Structure 1
Amino acid sequence: TVAAQYEGYRSTPGVAKDSRAPTYAALRLFVDNWRWKGVPFYLRSGKALKRKATEIVVEFQCPPHVMFDLPPGSALPANVLSLCIQPDEGIHLSFITKVPDSLQRAQPVDMQFHYRSSFAGEELPDAYERLLLDALHGDASLFTRSDAIELGWKLFDPVIRRWENPKGPPLPTYERASWGPQAASQLLARDSRRWRLGCVHRR
């Protein structure tokens, strides 16, 4: 796990000068069942970052055998599915395709869909507007169930207590309008991975 505070956080009105409350968190988690065995889940969230966005990025495993002849030492990038939750709802799919010629060449291509561009003439509700309207109509399909909330707190409570322990090591800091502390990038680099920005809208 990685926890940090943005520079100047403790100078914010109402924040204790010795506050250990993290404003950034990154975690690597595993699900202990047969379906997800060995599959890492990387989570990150933070305040005062470079961009405000909520997205889910699925990186597919590369196949053990490649159909195309590649130059020695080269490898094809993984196929990636990005679910864009906020602020620009949509879906991105980045995948490898064969270049349309007689040579055995392949390259990554992108497909994307966004509600705002596809339904430009429609007024789309914000996230909380949709939830409030669903609540008034008695539709709970977009709400998290109580058992999932309880399980989430059961998972994260011990982590938060460790981060906020006064006897723990000092929290690292990160610059405002950055992507967070360097330790978060190192967390993925240990697994030969990197944080992805899958929902950048390419026009």
Structure 2
Amino acid sequence: MQDLTPQEIEALFTRADGSYLFARWGRPLAPVVFGVEEASLPVIKGAFEAVAALAGLETVEMDPELGANLMVFFCRDWAELPEVPNLEKLVPDLVPLVARLQAAEANQYRVFRFDKRGAICAAFVFLRMDDQLGAVAADTLALSQAVQTVLLWSDRAFGDRSPLGQLEDGRVVLRPEIGALIRAAYDPVMPAAAQDKSHALRLAARVMPRD
């Protein structure tokens, strides 16, 4: 495993404006998936359950406050989103958001909601299945989205290197150092949210092997 340096960990949670912002889930995940064939549901939900288990997070059928708190939407065109019943109640400014995604020709977007402690309490994942995403295997795409949703990463994280890697037999798996970082982030003694860069040093101390 290639260890992450404290600087690399800090960069994964440092946003484009230079601010450090970290958050993890503060409740069990209650995922639901829209816009895919029923045969694909076990693959997608399985990926989210596997990453949740890595973090020590429970997955449940229903969140007592929100029902489903992790919603994954697959679409062919961003214009489909405003047509989803009641979605505008869950995602404020949905129409302007769709316009920005169309202008940027984006193929994925994630929206997070937070509780009073700053922990993640809900997430909405939007995937526009263009040629690029359509060429990605369902299990690989699901694993990638699960990893990018289990923590509030920087808006620049994984821009130059995927959190996933490929084994010699062709299987795609989570890079071990990213898995170790996720486990460290969910250490019970660590805070659910942080805005101080010293938090990255505490993560590094839990990721690096001890003699």
TM bucket, shorter chain = under 0.3
Pick 1 or 2: higher relative contact order, CA cutoff 8 A, min separation 6. Answer: 2
Taking structure 1 as the reference length, the TM-score comes to 0.24
Larger proportion of helix:
2
Structure with higher Rg: it is 1
